[in-house]
Structure formats: C-alpha cells, structure tokens
C-alpha cells in the first residue's frame, strides 16, 4: 500500500524582521551622532595627558562647557551656543536649583591661557557647581 507523505514546506529567510532591525540601528546611530556633535566645539583642542587605565564614564545629565580664546577674547560654548560668563552663570544656577550635583565638564583649549580656564571654573563655583571635570586626549606621534 502506498502512503502519501507530504514533504515539509521549505523554510525561507524572513526579510521583513531583518529590515526592521537594520532601520532601528540606523536611527540609533544617527541620533547618537547628533548628540555627540552638539556637545563639542570642534575648534577646542583639549590638552594631552598620558594614558590612564581607568575608563572615564560620562553622566547622562553632564553639561559640556567648551572654552577657547579667539583674538584675546574668551569664547564659551554649550551645545553650540555662545555664552558670556554672566549667561553661563545664570544657566548653571538654574541647573543647580533642579539638580544640586549637576556634573560639568570643562573642555579648555590647550593653547589658551590658564587664567581663562580659571575664569570658567570661578563662574561654575559661583553658580554652585562643584562637580567639575576636565577631559584630555592621548598625545599623538611627535607631541609631548
């Protein structure tokens, strides 16, 4: 007696879920890149420091303050917006009222006078910010 057996249907590759994952990853990287570019002033070249074994992590609500000197004048930027010391003070003061331990990272230009960095630090402390950090980069070939 001949039995009829059905051959299983061939399994195909599901393309729709793969496309969903690819588009979600693309959106994630585009949004993340915009946030990173908004925080940094590309004209600021931070000082170099030897390698540190510890990886420094950033807080979610950290404020990036970029400071550089142009024609003898202090230029302060936060999220690509230029600030005066008074405007920076007011902005930081408002942030301290909502979060007293708000972290601030000061990206000072390596070629800038130290007094200008101190001016930014004084503005931060006057506003009530005491959680201040300074980034550095690894020296490149030929730099010390």
At residue 30, the pLDDT reads: 79
Contacts 24+ apart (CB under 8 A), 36-44: 38/79, 38/80, 39/64, 39/79, 40/64, 40/66, 40/107, 41/66, 41/68, 41/77, 41/80, 41/107, 43/68, 43/109, 44/68, 44/107, 44/108, 44/109
120 phi and psi angles, rounded to 5 deg: -70, -40
pLDDT reported for residue 58 = 65
Please state whether the predicted TM-score (pTM) of the whole model is above 0.75: no
Domains and CATH numbers, the chain: 16-50+60-139 (3.30.420.270)
Give me the pLDDT at residue 40, please: 65
Q: Which residues contact 18 (CB under 8 A, 6 or more apart)?
A: none
Ranges of the chain with pLDDT below 70: 1, 34-42, 46-59, 140-144
pLDDT of amino acid 104: 92
């Amino acid at each position: 007696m001949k039995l009829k057996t059905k051959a299983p249907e061939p399994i195909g590759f599901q393309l729709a879920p793969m496309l969903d994952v690819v588009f979600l990853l693309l959106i994630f990287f585009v949004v993340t890149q915009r946030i990173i570019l908004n925080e940094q002033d590309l004209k600021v070249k931070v000082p170099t420091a030897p390698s540190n074994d510890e990886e420094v992590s950033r807080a979610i609500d950290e404020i990036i303050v970029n400071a550089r000197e142009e024609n003898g004048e202090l230029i302060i930027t936060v999220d690509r917006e230029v600030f005066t010391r008074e405007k920076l003070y007011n902005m930081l003061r408002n942030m301290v009222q909502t979060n007293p331990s708000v972290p601030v990272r000061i990206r000072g230009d390596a070629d800038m006078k130290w007094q200008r960095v101190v001016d930014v630090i004084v503005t931060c402390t006057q506003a009530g910010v005491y959680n201040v950090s300074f980034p550095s980069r690894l020296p490149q070939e030929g730099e010390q």
